[in-house]
Chain A
Amino acid sequence: MRRLRPFVKLLGAVVVVAGCGGRGAVTFSITAPSEPLLNPVAQPELVTEYDIRTASGNVIGIASAVQGSGSSGDGLLPLGALMPTMGPEDVYVTALTGGSTLGMARIKDVSISKGKTATYTAELRKPLVCVGAAMPAESASGNKTAAVQVIDPLTAADLAKQPSSPVSIAGMTAAASTWDGRFVVAANGNALTAWDTGSGKTVAGTLTLAFAPSRVVVAPRDQAIVALDPGSGADGSLAIISDVAGFVGSPGSANPKIVRMPGAIARTAAFSPDGSKLYVLTGGTAVDPCAPGATLTPNAIQVYGLDGSMTNMFALEGFAADVTVDPQSGAIVVADVAGKQIATLDPASGAPTKVLGNLTCPSAVRVVNGTVFAVTSDRDMPTNGFILQRVPLKGGASTATPFTGPNYNIPIDSMPSTNGDIGMALLPVRPVSIDAYELAVTPDGSRAEFATRAVYNEANTKFMFSGEDCTANFNIVEYGLFAVDLRTGNASYESRSQLVTQGKNDCVDCQLPSPFPDQVVGCQSTAGDKPAGLAATFGQ
């Protein structure tokens, strides 16, 4: 036993050192805006969990925030032992109420290691969807843009319209959220500025560009802002702002780099997950690929570095309407109108691989949490519906969520009854195509908002009305905004304008028996605007 004593003493010392070595503590300190309308945790009793994950989706910890959980008096919620990170990693903090996201924060370069004690501030923001407005290309007297909407996806309420709302944005024709969700970079015509999602106010100053951006994109980790030039001839350009923090502090002081795109005009763009590559889809924004008779020429994806140098180009086999990048895998995903498919592109060759096929005019695509969301012109017959498709990016069964399409009513010359029981006669018309030219999906994939251009087009279409032979000839464009609750499938639609481009005076002609003349009905425009600048904070 005496011989064993030194060994026992050594063992004891090892145990004591191990126990007192200090395992460290990492604290995620949550801060939230003081404005109650913009504060995701304004009602703390609604918060059930704080979910902490790395950008790649690995769970760091989940702290229960329900009453009676292990919260100490100083407001600390335990996460338990944390798995060490391999190095600095970006971390996403989500405040949840049940399965719904109340707020999010993104923190750069969090590192967790044995013995480390650190505090990281998580600036929580609501996952808002902002919707601006632009003037449509189709003219109509009385066209004017509506106020900017700031939608809270949890309640579907427009925060800009709430009593004593702090939200103040003069106008927004193109927009994108910063990676950290604290600002929305908003273009209003040629002016570019930032809207603070915490205060609801636009920061002081604007950057005036030589063009009115058709799209704005922000690189992951807020490495750059890129504004796309809609182009005035054959050539387009990009404006790259490398100092995002400087821009949101003082937009007027930003010094953008203008990159020329000879012979190409950008349609839309998306960044690679590391923010080092910008994939620009060419073809311009003027083309409605779903409209009847649209002339579609194959477009391309040009790849740019943050310094503005073009490093690669994929010539596509046909016309693609939209491009996005999966933030997790980095896969380049296109809405391939010509190939009637959603496809991923080989990052080296640009060769497409089908994710979902047999689609009618897939016009907008996003990838959220590994799921592809695509708006198509597939019809949900016999109702006046179109289809939003969801499919895992890695393959698998797709889920079709129908949404009721818009409709246009042609008033027929009729007289309502004097007692008001019998109304005017209306000919309901449904669109032949729908083009979702902008799409925003919330970070939890629970809500999709998309701006659409629907076309009602009939060319010498015969039908009968009240026993008379009638002929329809018209072309009407309708702009609107769809909001689809992807948990329930419920969809709502807001028509923003109905603009008649053909058939203003004679869209329906019904032949009456001789000697009566034909009854000719004209189609009337409803002036308005088109939704533009859809931006989902933390979303896609």
Chain B
Amino acid sequence: MAIDYNKALALELRTGISVRAARVASLRSIGAPPGVMILFVAGRNGPGMGHLRTTADGSSLQWKAPSSTAFGPSIDCPSDNSYTLEDGDDPDKAIIVQVYADYLEGGVEASVLLTDVYGNEISHDDVTAGEAAAGDVTSYTIIMRNVSAGDITWLTVWLDADTPNLEISEDYATWVSPTTEAGGLVFPTLAVSTYDVLYVRRTISASSNSDPSVLVQLHVSFWLNAGEALSSKRYADARGKYRIFNAAEYRFYRDNSAPPEEGDTPFDTNATLPHTPTNTYANGTWYISMSRFNGVLDSGFLPVGPNGETYLRLDLAAGAEEGSPPNAPLGWRLELRPNGVVRVIGTYYQVGDLRATQWAIAYTTDESSPPADTPDETETMPTRGLAQLVYDLPAQGDETIVKVRLQTRRQDGETWVYSEGSTVLTVTADAQGPSAPLAAERYPGRLPESL
């Protein structure tokens, strides 16, 4: 195990500590009001939407961190310079901005989107698939320098409770994983312009599962001493994300009762295509899907079917493949017409070789359920586009109960293949109009207004 001193970095503890030329960027930012450029966002802000605004006269700025309830104090920005702005709820949620005073505008509020950073000096590099399989231990250093005007005392470092795989040390000999400030690693007093080293060790156990987003979050507290009566306690966070890769693979799914769903367990995996799993297929209907796993993220299923299905269908009978049925109607209903006529109205859409060629209508008038796949009436469909059915069944006697089943069908060779999952709708035929008005009379000219 070796310490990667090339990764030694500057941990910006807000106003207190910094090292080398660049601060560690815990968060990225997008958005700023006119005349302002964000230079640095303290990790303690956390990700989310912050707000930066100018006062009405445009002479000063205020910051409100994500999830905060109040803007911080107004900071006068009279000239081109950098300024530190604090949040109203938590002054350690601070940002540093560069101001171009001539361009400031009064009464402007800008949303500032803060997002986590991957692979910075806090989180270190991603874990490769090989490292995740074999296990990996990486050590690196974080250098903390006091750039304030006074001593820093009680410098304490601990881990966020949700940060996995990490240990810290002040001597590279004793490693701890404290998750509370009380149990944190306490460093000796840092005099002005001096620094101390925090050692970090990341241990990835063998056969670790992939993870697209592992957050490393270090909490720091310290007392900033600017004279006996001017000590103040400060908090800071340093954060970053990394990924744990596993081997990339194709994932294969199948089910003989319903289409596979994303998140199901694949029945087989393989690094490359083409691939023939050893599993065999019995007679019946099989729904088959496939996804790509890049080592951390799964693609989900592509709509590979002609109508957006996320699966391919395999129908087997007597050990051989047969054509899958056409889709069922998109929707359909029955409508009563005069003289006992029942109108069947339906719509259908499908592209590709499996598209139906006919509507298949079965109906009964003896209250029995019309059987599937045995139509009494058929109607030819257009060969492409949306098919619409408006079909009047033969007139029935008044109050005859009419039951209707609507399917689509396609002829494969000598066999008609019908859509599946059909339902039956019932309606009572109406062959008689309403009874006559009870009386009628006439009157010469207009009726008197008083009538």
Q: Do A and B bind each other?
A: no
B: residues with CB less than 8 A from A are none
A: residues with CB less than 8 A from B are none
